[in-house]
Structure 1
Amino acid sequence: MWLNKAFDQFKEQPRFVRLAVPILLGMAAGLGQAPFDLPLISLIAFAVVFGLLSTVETAKQAGKLGWLFALGYFCLTLQWLVSPFLVEPEKHAWMAPFAVFFLAGGLALFWSAAFAVSQRLGNASLLMLLPLAELGRAYLFTGFPWGMPSYGLVNTWFGQAASWIGPHGLNILFLIIAFAVFKAVMTSSRAQIIAVLVSILGLAALWPLSEVPEPLGKPVGTIRLVQPNAPQHEKWDPLMMPVFFDRALEFTSAEGSPDLIIWPETSLPASLPNADWALEEMREAAEGTPIVFGTNRFDGYLIYNAAVFMDAEGQLTQTYDKHHLVPFGEYVPFGDMLARFGIHGLAASEGRGFSAGRGAELMDLGPLGTALPLICYEAVFPQDVIAARDRPAFLMQITNDAWFGAFSGPHQHLAQARMRAIEQGLPMVRAANTGISALIDEKGRVLNALPLNEAGFIDVSLPRPKPATLYSHTGDLPVALLLTLGLLTLWIKRRRISN
């Protein structure tokens, strides 16, 4: 077949072509992520890279192929990382391309290792090795699972399987379909029939999920989501802070009768416990309606990124401190340990960064039930949602996505929040400073939302929780065990053959 010849000729191409093609393929694979939402293109790109993998002869070559492919994938997926460096461009803009390249290159090492080992165990082993690499990326070094291939499936029927097997199980299924497509066009044996059937079923599952929501039934209550739209470069400007605060107060006091009002992450223009003046204005604006708001909270030298519940009487009755912090963004790893050796400038315990809270905790919101607060980055981690001791009635994310720019970052963050709703079978309410504030149902569908970079508020009807999903009980352990046992079986089989 001509495709076989094309793959065979690839290794004879000039060095530039052999470097550029995997990178471009990786970028094509990244088109499955928001805001592109082209999972079919992503699937085809993964199928083609299986073909390229079949042409390499050594583990070193396979590892290089995997690294280049992943580099293209992560550079496209994580290009929003440029945005934080443009908040003060005169100081930091020069660092932006280096930050994207080095982070993408570092994450690509996970995929590179998977490709290299697959050359030893057989190309089909990549179906297990790459999901295992993604598990490693999600857990090791505090984890950074942003932009997993499975997140590109959130708009499809395929994505609903996350309620059973989670995002890592979806990674396996996605790669199986990609491998089946590769085999369907590359082989002429009986196995081709199976590959064609699997490909057809997989491609059918990529059909977009209906955007028309099912009847919600009687809602639990009404929640007002406030979106003040404070650009990051103005958010802490002393001249602009009152503008954004007054805007949030105006939305809080607007006509309507919500049961709860939610403000975004760090939306209070002062830090607790020294914010009495701001809290008093919030009490007056709310007129007896409880508010959940985001703020920085001081406890001696310790600083916390907190979500605080103000009850109907205006009392601060519950506080949740963010526990999964962003390395180098909110704290410097090992800073407290270095302080023991006299290097004090990085210690979170001395006010040189944020300190982590106690862990996942539920917030009792009265008639609305209990909510699991997730502050910004925490919604990226399914394990943080499962870590709650009891099952909440809904998920509640407050975030400041102004850091993420206006192109892909906020949309990808929303997609991951939607996946959390599917995994748990729970609705989610999401208040974002610059957007996208939204009500998400248990199937991950956005029922109501405020556009990105637009100030306003919406009153949403909170659906009732659905029965607990399988994944909410099992987490990632079954998938991790399946991958480990599968690879162990392949390794034993290869050893027997070689002997």
Structure 2
Amino acid sequence: AAALGALAAAAFPPLHLVPLLWLAFPGLLLLAGSRAGPRGAFGVGWAWGFGHFSAGLYWISNALLTEADRFAWLVPFAVPAIAAGLALFIALPVVLARLWPEGWPRVLAFAGLWTLGEIARGFLLTGFPWNLLGTVWAFGALPVQGAAWIGTHGLSALTVVLASLPLVWGRAAWAAGGAILAGGAVVGLVRLAAEEPAPAPVALRIVQGNIAQAHKWREELRIAHFRRYLALTASAPPAEEGARLVVIWPETASPYMLDADATARALAAGALPGAGVLIAGSVRLERQPEGHTPPIRVWNSLLAIGSAGDVLAVYDKHHLVPFGEYVPLRGWLPVETVVPGNLDFSAGPGPQTLALEGLPPFSPLICYEVIFPGAVVAADARPAWLLNLTNDAWFGVSSGPYQHLAAARMRAVEEGLPLVRAANTGVSAVFDARGRTVASLGLDRMGVIAAPLPAPRAPTPYARAGRVGPLVLALGLALVATALRRQRHVMS
């Protein structure tokens, strides 16, 4: 079971070996069904999930090795511990699916229960909806267009049904599989054939400094890192006539605190290739009044800086990474954050829409804030585009950056909004509102992307209803499975 779960992880980016799911999912249900009781089925489901998440999240160890002297001892424990917890979201659906008889009832019920587990995984214990099964189709824009209606969670449900069809092989299975694939293809072709509105008069310049995480915060290299970003910014082509220039740096790209360091801001603004705005990731710090605890508060922030070096807007990351940016139950757990300094970051107020003069309003998303379906846009102010700043240098050259990129692409399709992504070591990219790649710069490369800002589309059904759509689909599958179970019972 663990081996089958690991095999299923190869369907995720960057490999996208989707046909392996036709072996992994039937194998899971057959093994679980062969056990006499719920405890045995739970063990099979947990082992499958453990193998699945261990193989899919192995890259987390790379973050621990950036400071090997402090955290290398955690490598044998961190990924297995995370995988062991996440495996529960698979073990429970496997056990519950046994309430339905084998065949179509169990396949449909399991698909619905799997999807409910994925939705729960995005909330419980602050949430970690990484590698949702629907992202296996994110190797292109065509297969993922259905996410505009049912979200990535809905694609996960349909993927489980497709992958489990060998258990109900026959004419009905062929018809169901063909209908799902054909329906997805038609939806994709129709959406991608729609005429695109004219892009906004915005000239994007995305700077990818490609600074290794092990070097990023070394004191003796701070000036060199800052100069690299200044030089890349100055080398960027100026804006086209009539377009508003926007230069974008990744998460924590500046080694200096731009909100408090006027000299650093002036240098950054002076490097702009013309009048425009710099949007940059930077740590932000505030000293608290005497007697307050903690005495210092720190934020992982995005700052918009004008041509004169003035701060135009600030956004503070609100969805922090446990053990990366803060330690849960710090008074009880004797561990440090992976981020240097061992300070807990403070959380911002939540999703926001920033409006800068001459720019369409945008929703800022820092790092893994982009992986949460239905939670990337402020409820009261729909933006015209999504902006994701990230530092995937933590993941090294691994599958992690590609998985993160796929999640970002899915948010563009779900919301019907273009997404602009600036990553320190890559992959930086621009997606249009259909999830098509407008421009990109690959992993472990240094350079500047010059691209227009694609236009937004009307709110998608998913953007209007959020997770209600996939939730209804999951419950609907369970209800159909229940109806089939009753019909089979009556006939028997």
Q: Answer whether TM exceeds 0.5 for this pair.
A: yes
Structure-2 separation of matches of 1:486 and 1:325? 34
TM-score (norm 1): 0.86
Match of 1:47 in 2: 26
Match of 1:362 in 2: 353
Structure-1 separation of matches of 2:409 and 2:398? 18
Q: Does 1:142 align with 2:126?
A: yes
Structure-1 separation of matches of 2:163 and 2:180? 9
Specify the code of the residue in structure 2 equivalent to 1:281.
L
Taking a change above 3 Å as real, the CA distance of residues 361 and 386 of structure 1, as seen in their structure-2 partners, is: closer
Instruction: Work out whether residues 363 and 378 of structure 2, in 8 Å CA contact, stay in contact via their aligned partners in 1.
Output: no
Taking a change above 3 Å as real, the CA distance of residues 442 and 90 of structure 1, as seen in their structure-2 partners, is: same
Instruction: Work out whether residues 265 and 398 of structure 1, in 8 Å CA contact, stay in contact via their aligned partners in 2.
Output: yes
Match of 2:277 in 1: 290
Q: Does 1:224 align with 2:205?
A: yes
Match of 2:177 in 1: 199
Match of 2:453 in 1: 462
Match of 2:72 in 1: 93
Percent of aligned pairs with the same residue? 35
Structure-1 separation of matches of 2:439 and 2:433? 13
Taking a change above 3 Å as real, the CA distance of residues 204 and 344 of structure 1, as seen in their structure-2 partners, is: closer
**CA displacement at 1:205 relative to structure 2:** 7.0
Structure-2 separation of matches of 1:488 and 1:213? 35
Match of 1:242 in 2: 223
**CA displacement at 1:154 relative to structure 2:** 1.5
Listed one character per residue, the Cα deviations across residues 386-431 of structure 1 (whole Å, up to 9, x for unaligned) are 4442211111000100001211010100000000011011111111
Structure 2: runs of 5+ lacking an equivalent: 240-244, 288-295
Instruction: Work out whether residues 271 and 298 of structure 1, in 8 Å CA contact, stay in contact via their aligned partners in 2.
Output: yes
Hey, which of these two has a bigger chunk of helix by percent?
1
Match of 1:271 in 2: 257
**CA displacement at 1:463 relative to structure 2:** 1.1
Match of 1:252 in 2: 233
Structure-2 separation of matches of 1:215 and 1:93? 52
Q: How does 1:15-26 map to 2 (within 5 A)?
A: 22-26=1-5
Match of 2:292 in 1: none
Specify the code of the residue in structure 2 equivalent to 1:126.
F
Q: RCO greater where, 1 or 2, for CA within 8 Å and sep 6 or more?
A: 2
Listed one character per residue, the Cα deviations across residues 256-279 of structure 1 (whole Å, up to 9, x for unaligned) are 223100011111111254322211
Please report the RMSD computed on the Cα atoms of aligned residues, expressed in angstroms.
Answer: 2.9
Structure-2 separation of matches of 1:489 and 1:59? 23
Structure-2 separation of matches of 1:113 and 1:389? 36
Listed one character per residue, the Cα deviations across residues 119-171 of structure 1 (whole Å, up to 9, x for unaligned) are 23443321211111111111111100101111111125332111100111111
Q: How does 1:93-172 map to 2 (within 5 A)?
A: 93-122=72-101, 123-124=106-107, 125-156=109-140, 157-172=142-157
Structure-2 separation of matches of 1:304 and 1:357? 8
Q: How does 1:26-45 map to 2 (within 5 A)?
A: 26-45=5-24
TM-score (norm 2): 0.87
Structure-1 separation of matches of 2:379 and 2:328? 25
**CA displacement at 1:53 relative to structure 2:** 3.2
Structure-1 separation of matches of 2:256 and 2:232? 19
Match of 1:10 in 2: none
Instruction: Work out whether residues 181 and 196 of structure 1, in 8 Å CA contact, stay in contact via their aligned partners in 2.
Output: no
Match of 1:311 in 2: 306
Structure-1 separation of matches of 2:482 and 2:366? 42
Alignment counterpart, residue 391 of structure 2, candidates 400, 404, 417: 400
Taking a change above 3 Å as real, the CA distance of residues 475 and 330 of structure 1, as seen in their structure-2 partners, is: same
Q: Does 1:325 align with 2:305?
A: no
Instruction: Work out whether residues 24 and 69 of structure 1, in 8 Å CA contact, stay in contact via their aligned partners in 2.
Output: yes
Instruction: Work out whether residues 230 and 433 of structure 1, in 8 Å CA contact, stay in contact via their aligned partners in 2.
Output: yes
Listed one character per residue, the Cα deviations across residues 244-265 of structure 1 (whole Å, up to 9, x for unaligned) are 2111111211252231000111
Instruction: Work out whether residues 374 and 463 of structure 2, in 8 Å CA contact, stay in contact via their aligned partners in 1.
Output: no
Instruction: Work out whether residues 58 and 119 of structure 1, in 8 Å CA contact, stay in contact via their aligned partners in 2.
Output: no
**CA displacement at 1:367 relative to structure 2:** 2.8
Matched position secondary structure for 1:88? helix
**CA displacement at 1:206 relative to structure 2:** 8.1
Matched position secondary structure for 2:254? coil
Taking a change above 3 Å as real, the CA distance of residues 428 and 493 of structure 1, as seen in their structure-2 partners, is: closer
Worse-superposed segment, 443-452 or 222-231? 443-452
Structure-2 separation of matches of 1:490 and 1:298? 54
Worse-superposed segment, 402-411 or 217-226? 217-226
Structure-1 separation of matches of 2:478 and 2:378? 28
Taking a change above 3 Å as real, the CA distance of residues 375 and 466 of structure 1, as seen in their structure-2 partners, is: same
Structure-1 separation of matches of 2:183 and 2:67? 44
Instruction: Work out whether residues 31 and 38 of structure 1, in 8 Å CA contact, stay in contact via their aligned partners in 2.
Output: yes
Structure-1 separation of matches of 2:342 and 2:305? 26
Alignment counterpart, residue 448 of structure 1, candidates 439, 451, 456: 439
Match of 1:11 in 2: none
Match of 1:389 in 2: 380
Match of 2:167 in 1: 182
Instruction: Work out whether residues 362 and 388 of structure 1, in 8 Å CA contact, stay in contact via their aligned partners in 2.
Output: no
Matched position secondary structure for 2:235? coil
Taking a change above 3 Å as real, the CA distance of residues 351 and 180 of structure 1, as seen in their structure-2 partners, is: closer
Structure-1 separation of matches of 2:432 and 2:259? 35
Structure-2 separation of matches of 1:215 and 1:319? 35
Structure-1 separation of matches of 2:385 and 2:415? 9
Match of 1:72 in 2: 51
Matched position secondary structure for 1:444? coil
Specify the code of the residue in structure 1 equivalent to 2:48.
F
Structure 1: runs of 5+ lacking an equivalent: 1-21, 185-191
Structure-2 separation of matches of 1:388 and 1:88? 39
Taking a change above 3 Å as real, the CA distance of residues 428 and 99 of structure 1, as seen in their structure-2 partners, is: same
